[in-house]
Amino acid sequence: MVKAFVDANVLVSVLNKEYPLFTYSARVLSLAERNGFELFTSSLCLAIGFYFASKKCGEVEAKRKIQLLCCHLSIAQIDENAVRNALNNAKINDIEDGFQYYAAVEAGCNCLITENLSDYHFAEIPVYSSEGFLKTHVFNS
């Protein structure tokens, strides 16, 4: 079972149909319906996605899109442990990325999908772009 955490920038590329990333990120999200895959995100990623989607399509449509995502993704919790771990890790520069990472780890994710690979330079689990994830876990299976 692949348990993958999906970062906000992947969600935003799907919500706003941002090409060329949309081609890969939409395919990643479609795996939520496939056996052998469980996709996670966090409430913070959803909030970031809502913010950027609302700028493009308005708040009502953005909320509808977020509700649809929530039907297919599991939500990893950014709890006190995630916050403390992120704050105590000297390698983490962007605290939001630290929160996401530790939420993913605590949820049992075995990899993370983001379009900003360098944001997770501190990660101890594999970090993939959408395209890289698909090449590793789908196209070569």
Residue-wise pLDDT tens digits, 45-99: 999 999 999 999 999 999 999 999 999 999 999 999 999 999 999 999 999 999 9
Contact 10, 49 (CB under 8 A): no
| Cα distances (Å, whole numbers) of residue 60 to 9, 51, 54, 55 | 20, 12, 8, 11
20-44 pLDDT, tens per residue? 999 999 999 999 989 999 999 999 9
pLDDT band at 141 (very low <50, low <70, confident <90, very high): low
The structural domain count of the chain equals 1
On the 0-12 / 13-18 / 19+ scale of CB atoms within 10 A, 57 is: middle
Question: What's the gap between Cα 120 and its chain centre?
Answer: 12
User: For position 87, which CATH number holds?
Assistant: 3.40.50.1010
Contact 25, 130 (CB under 8 A): yes
Range of the domain at 59: 2-139
Which residue has 């395919």 as its token pair? 27
**pTM of the full predicted structure?**
0.96
